[in-house]
Amino acid sequence: MSALAVSLGRGPLIGVCLGSCLYGITCLQALFYFQTYVDDRRSLKLTVSTILPSFIHPTCTPDLRQVALLLTLETIHVALSMWLVDYYLVANYANETALQSATWFTTVIMLHAL
């Protein structure tokens, strides 16, 4: 496998690993908060819920369904990112022609980045 292919594979692998760890820490912190502080005011719980998914607009106060939806979408994103890294770095190891073609998820990510 060429040095270019190896260097192209390390960045996404490290990014997915670190992103997954941070996502897990965020979910764990929210779980601990909601289990430990059951008697907190509803407004404080909403504040924690808005901090959990950091991509909510700061001026809106989402209800619990919106937070659950965003957390579900983020979970799907993490799972698909892991699948993408597995596809390129495990299933197609040493197959440089696989790097020349994009999967459907790679295309979605690139379109989303625009």
Record the tokens describing residue 78, joined without a space: 């993490």
Give residue 56's pLDDT.
47
pTM over 0.75: no
Record the tokens describing residue 10, joined without a space: 């390390």
Alpha carbon separation from 114 to 91, 107, 108, 110 (Å, rounded): 28, 11, 10, 7
Give residue 65's pLDDT.
66
Query: For residues 82 and 86, what is the distance between their CA atoms, to the nearest angstrom?
Result: 6
Record the tokens describing residue 7, joined without a space: 């260097």
pLDDT value at 110 more than 60: yes
Interhelix angle 42-51/64-86, rounded to 10 degrees, is 20
Q: Is the dihedral of CA 37, 38, 40, 42 positive or negative?
A: positive
> 36-65: per-residue pLDDT in tens?
877 878 777 777 666 665 544 555 555 566
> 6-43: per-residue pLDDT in tens?
676 777 888 888 888 888 887 787 777 777 877 878 77
Record the tokens describing residue 107, joined without a space: 């295309």
Q: What is the mean pLDDT of residues 93-105?
A: 80
- Tokens 């998820």 belong to 105
Give residue 94's pLDDT.
77
Length of the chain: 114
Quick one: which H or E segment has residue 107?
Answer: helix 104-113
